[in-house]
A and B are shown apart, each in its own frame.
Chain A
């Protein structure tokens, strides 16, 4: 077994192990901290995929913004009795069976695909790709309109978030 494969297996074990902890922990703060571990493992997988830019974005956006936002929301909303309540609903056994069937059938279906065991072609994945990505995102022949729609979506989502999280004033009620 090559060293890079061992690194991949360590990263995959980190991702899957902490992901299991995220969905099973009773204490939501612990679940959110394990989510940070999962996201770091995914960033490690991105480095192995030579998508260095995305590893950085993963750390900045997911760990830096989204995970912190989730932890803040947990701290604001946590019930005093929240840690003693059963974390799963009555359908947890069926949900577990459905998840096993879903990932198992995904792997089974993909294993018949001819390119399933392909190895990575030699390619320039450094500065060239990041330059091309920036040019494509902001050129009218490329993906300028989807980029603009995405930015408008973000703005609308943030306005909606501020509006719905804002306390309701007495006059409105």
Chain B
């Protein structure tokens, strides 16, 4: 049998890798890839808690539905913004997007 701790450690490490990607990468699309990794770590945690603590209840799975929906919406809007910015400024690097900086 696999103890719950294995899943939690895997999710924590995956979240850390995704956090590094969000903080350290320059390209906006690479930052979005990091966010996807973090959302997947959250999904592993939610489903592990569902299986090990409340397998007869589906509340954890409802949360997973919401995470999937928000992930899809976030990627669609994020990539549309990247394309829009790329059209105007011809760049996809976060440190070159300083129009709002004063």
Contact = CB atoms under 8 A, between A and B. Distances in A.
B29 A120 contact: no
A103 B27 contact: no
B15 to A, nearest CB: 6
A133 to B, nearest CB: 5
Chain A binding surface SS class:
helix
A5 B80 contact: no
Contacts of A143: 62
Given A19-B37, A48-B2, A99-B20, A161 B76 contact: yes
A89 interface: yes
Interface residues of B, number: 73
Of B8, B20, B32, B79, the most chain A CB neighbours within 10 A belong to: B20
Interface string A79-107: 10010011111011011101110111011
A135 B56 CA distance: 14
Interface residues of A, number: 91
Interface string B29-57: 11011101100100110011011110110
Contact of A15 (B5, B10, B30): B10
Contact of A77 (B9, B71, B83): B83
A31 B90 CA distance: 21
A51 B44 CA distance: 10
A157 B75 CA distance: 9
Interface string B54-96: 0110100110111011111111110111111011001111110
B66 to A, nearest CB: 6
12 contacts: A2-B1, A8-B6, A19-B18, A35-B37, A39-B36, A49-B51, A62-B40, A77-B83, A120-B55, A121-B52, A137-B65, A164-B77
